[in-house]
Amino acid sequence: MRNALTAALLMTTPALAQLGTVSDANATFTLVDVPDSPTAYAPRIVFSADPAINTIAHSFWWYYRLGGDVSESALNDSNGQLTSMQFGGGGIATLEWDDVDNRGIRAMYKISAESTGPTSGALIHTLTLENLTAAPIDIEAFAYCDIDHCDTAFGDTATGGPDRVTVNDASCPTGYAEFFGVRTSGYAVFDYPVVIDALVDGSQTDLMNVGLPFSTPSDFTAALQYSETALQPGALFTAVAVVGHNYSYAPCPAVPDTRSYGIALAGALGEPTIKTLAVPVVGTHGVLEIGNAPPNGTGTLLYGMQQLAGDLGVQAFGLTIYVATNSEPLTFDSTGSLVIPLNLPVVTGLCASDFYFQVLIQDPTSPAQFPITHTHAIEWTIGS
């Protein structure tokens, strides 16, 4: 996820000071700056997937509001709170905050530039928030975007809704832009600076699905809203917004689902547990939580798209293995627990796929012929 700095800014307009650039073939993204306060406007970005076009997206940023707040706030670097910022190969940039504005939420903002053809691509913005507090919290997240097709500001028109907006510019005949979100709760589309002013004006804003069609050519801006109620302590909330250039996202028709099957093998601590904290939705993070393992112990995550002997598993040496194909080493914390977020990218072929998970745990108190206990298994069906 974290790599070294890559290519220079691809544009013919005067050079901008920049924090970093990432690219995937013809899809290139540059972040110019980061807001310096909770009430700052969205920063300048540059994104294009067609070598003949200067830029598609002019600015983008995430804003948030917690339950009880009277206004929205930008993710920001006031007091140097931005913990980590990495730009690198694979077209991925990541920004991390250990505790946003000292509000009890950890944030990771991942930007992925993905080529989908020689003149098309997607810029995927994934915001993941973790509840660091000891109580449930309500979260509203807002993805703000200013699209200037062909680097022109005043010729935009747009249609669509509720979670997808298509932007065209008569002066830019080579393609279109699209702004869409996964599981949004509202949108607003207006001429600049109406939307951004509403997010930074010190009052509470909810997006009421207004502004489309955007018929009179002018400077297109929009925001998408995402809502989460009672996010539990330690749980993750993920919001995804995508800016497409000559690329239109097809929502996954499958319904996300999870089920448990099989039997755990207990040691002296009892049965180790595995459960799903966040359902497997394309474009977000599915999340597993492992519990009741030996404190500071080790184990192995078994995962793949194949079961062993269906729900019955394969029994050997006192163990029952339910999952085939892949494995990953694990280390548990001092409570014998571990939370595992698993990225489910938007533009890969995960829709309607089934994945299977089980955890083997090093435990000298196991009744099996090897010092290993294990969880039952979990199946995910990935949807949207």
The helix (run of H) or strand (run of E) holding residue 180 is strand 177-182
Of 164 and 361, the one with more pLDDT: 361
pLDDT for the residue numbered 54: 67
Domain 20-245 has CATH 2.70.98.40: yes
Residue 141 clears pLDDT 70, i.e. is over it: yes
142-154: pLDDT as tens digits: 999 999 877 777 8
pLDDT for the residue numbered 340: 87
Residue 2: band (very low, low, confident or very high) from pLDDT cuts 50, 70, 90 = very low
CA distances from 52 to 20, 71, 118, 263 (A): 22, 40, 11, 58
Q: Are 27 and 123 in contact (CB under 8 A)?
A: yes
Sequence ranges of the domains in the chain: 20-245, 257-381
Tokens of 277: 């904290």
pLDDT for the residue numbered 346: 67
Average pLDDT, integer, range 103-113: 92
For 91, the 3-state DSSP assignment is helix
pLDDT for the residue numbered 13: 32
287-307: pLDDT as tens digits: 899 999 999 999 999 999 999
Burial 217-252 (b: 16+ CB within 10 A, else e): bebbbbbbbbbbeebeeebbbbbbbbbbbbbebebb
Cis, bond preceding 371 (omega within 30 deg of 0): no
Q: In whole angstroms, give the CA distance from residue 333 to residue 230.
A: 25
Domain 257-381: state its class. Answer: mainly beta
pLDDT for the residue numbered 267: 96
Q: Output the CA torsion sign for 221, 127, 36, 6.
A: negative
258-282: pLDDT as tens digits: 999 999 999 999 999 999 877 788 8
Evaluate if pTM is beyond 0.75.
yes
316-337: pLDDT as tens digits: 999 999 998 899 999 999 999 9
